[in-house]
Structure 1
Amino acid sequence: MQDSSAMFLLHAPEGAAIPLVCDSPHSGVRYPEDFGHAVPRALLRAAEDTHVEALWGEAPKLGATLVEALFPRSYLDLNRTLDDIDPTLLAAPWPTPLAPSEKTRIGSGLVWRTVKNMPIYDRLLPVDEVRQRIARCYQPYHQALAAAVESTHQRFGAVWHLNLHSMPNNAYERLQIKSDRPLADFVLGDRDGTTCEPAFVALVEEYLRGCGYTVARNDPYKGVQLIAKIGQPALQRHSMQIEIRRPIYMDEESRERNANFAAVRNDITGLLKTMAAYFAAQPAWSGSPAAAHS
């Protein structure tokens, strides 16, 4: 396990490695002293993907790499591009061109403006402060994840990446989307079939449905910066976002694990084992599975 100034942890595979890299960019609960937020910490916690790293915690024991952020997404969102900044948050012009996205419009860009429609700050943020967050948090995390993906691909000739999240029960409302469908227990995002091989997505969906969960694809989450950057199926680089509906494993208000947490974690561990068996059957690796595990 690698510690990078306590901003993220890199859990290396334990034992025989498999071509799977997981990352949990939004489950951090360590709030930096320089955050300077004006809303209560309890309100900010609504932005956390709390406990996601624990739900997938068996991944390293099964041979996968797991990268987890330790700081909260409301401080800096790792699943955004570096130009996805709201200029109205800044005390001075940003030194390079900005391209605010729909996420910024609803208050959750690279630096979040609001949480539950409440302004997070009662001040404008100095440009240097935001740039320091990027240098201390964003760049090291992305570099570590990219290195894990690249080394795994080089070793096996293929890599599968899981971008791990959880979603609030009122996700459609949060995203300002009108829907007559209930939110699924799991949402698999592959940016409409562009970032991951269909067979792997189907494997995950079939397994989860077999456990009794409802599953949707790309509704309402398709995946954002991380899988868009990593997912290149034609190059044997497969990337998928997995969202878990929070009430199935925790209390959204208290953030405490509920009575179903252990069962959901066990199901996810079973999913990881199913993935490992799938990888072992793939002919795409540059070496044989036996050689890869040596």
Structure 2
Amino acid sequence: MTPFLRYLPGTTPLVLDSPHSGTAYPDDFGHACELQILRRAEDTHVEKLYDFAPALGAGWVEAFFPRSYLDANRDTTEIDVSLFDEPWPKAVATDARVMGKVRLGKGLVWRTTDDGVPIYQRKLGVAEVQARIARCWEPYHAAVAQAIDSAHQRHGYSIHLNCHSMPAVASSHATEFPGEVHADFVIGNRDGSTSSGPLARLVCAHLENRGYSVSLNHPYKGVELVRRYGEPLQQRHSIQVEVNRKLYMDEQTLEMHEGAVPLKASLQSLVQLLLQTDPRKLQS
């Protein structure tokens, strides 16, 4: 096992991953931003919200490294070339929609925090970022791919939940919709391209029936981890689940509060529902 992630193989068709809840800040990060400010970039405690899942037979992948150091939910071409002290030798994405986050400072390696605070007061070397990719991004994606492949081989279909949290109100550099007040949950399947519509609607309906406000594909549609592994025509379904941090934690102190208990119960009920759901049998 790599020291940068946890991978627990499952026995069911369900796979969950948490790419942004890591709190182990590597010694070679070299950030100038205060750690207290930088930590607000984390999906803090998301791994705790789903810690019941492995015991239910779901595959589980969790990053220990922080997303501001290396964002496993970005493609390796989503590079901000202004970060480097020399030319980046690999391919760089050119699609305007893909590069929107890079312009906000949120590429594979972050340039700024969600509030626009610069993370570095230095230029990065190409070799150090390539080392981050080799140590963090590649093992993480290998684990997710293996977990999904194994689930699909066992059962003929797979359901992948890409687990995240979001601030109650979008920050200036966090999204293309700064200042937006978020619903309790945002469910994303990239407008139906990474999971079947009926499966995404089932997730939304279940959460709404539990009393939550739910938005589908706005303002978060899902990014690299659902795009790369979601192939609904091959019965590989990937859905991004964003939960509002106000439901379970204090966004300033990062401490969990009493709301985490009912939220966790709701997430467990969702996972149990999906364990009983064959997406091939859902009506469109």
The TM tier, using the shorter chain, reads: over 0.9
Q: Which 10-residue stretch deviates more, 131-140 or 145-154?
A: 145-154
Could you report, residue by residue, the CA deviation over 1:62-103 in whole angstroms, capped at 9, with x for unpaired residues?
111010000100000000010111011001101123126111
Query: Is the partner of 1:278 in helix, strand or coil?
Result: coil
> Distance in 1 between the 2:281 and 2:245 partners?
36
Report the equivalent of 2:35.
41
Which string of whole-angstrom CA distances, capped at 9 and with x for unpartnered residues, describes residues 240-286 of structure 1?
1000011111011111101101110111111111111223x8569xx
The answer for the alignment partner of 1:200 in structure 2 is 199
Contact in 1 for aligned 2:169/2:181 (Cα 8 Å): no
Aligned length: 276
TM-score by length of 1: 0.90
Q: Secondary structure at the match of 2:106?
A: coil
Cα distance in 2 between the residues matched to 1:176 and 1:196: 23
Equivalent residue for 2:214? 215
SS at match of 1:53: helix
The match for 2:81 is 87
Q: Does structure 2 conserve the Cα–Cα contact (< 8 Å) formed by 1:11 and 1:66?
A: yes
Structure 2 distance, partners of 1:76, 1:198, is 31
Q: CA, structure 1 residues 167+86, in 2 after alignment: closer, same or farther (shift >3 Å)? A: same
Partner of 2:177 in structure 1?
177
Q: Indicate conservation of the 8 Å contact 1:172/1:220, yes or no.
A: no
Mapping 1:1-294, distance limit 5 Å:
3-4=1-2, 6-13=3-10, 17-99=11-93, 101-115=99-113, 116-171=115-170, 173=172, 174-177=174-177, 182-279=181-278
CA distance in 1, matches of 2:128, 2:198: 44
Deviations 1:7-59 (A, max 9, x none): 0001233xxx2201111000000000100000110011111000111111111
Q: Are the aligned partners of 1:84 and 1:98 in contact in 2 as well (CA < 8 Å)?
A: yes
Residue 171 of structure 1: SS of its match in structure 2? coil
Q: Deviations over 1:144-176 (max 9, x none)?
A: 111111111111111111111000122264314
% identical aligned pairs: 46
2:19 partner amino acid: P
Contact map agreement 1:52 1:164 (CA 8 A) in 2? yes
Aligned to 2:204, the other structure's residue is in SS state helix
1:223 Cα shift? 0.5
CA contact (8 A) 2:170 2:181 kept: no
Distance 2:244 2:281 in 1: 34
Provide TM-score, normalisation by structure 2: 0.93
Query: Is the CA contact 1:227–1:241 (under 8 Å) kept in the aligned structure 2?
Result: yes
Supply the distance in 2 between the matched residues of 1:227 and 1:172 (Cα, whole angstroms).
23
The runs of at least 4 aligned residues of structure 1 exceeding 4 Å deviation read 281-284
> What secondary structure, in the 3-state scheme, does the structure 1 residue paired with 2:241 have?
strand
- What one-letter code is carried by the residue in structure 2 that aligns with 1:107? G
Partner Cα separation in structure 2 for residue 158 and residue 34 of structure 1: 40
Q: CA RMSD in A?
A: 1.6
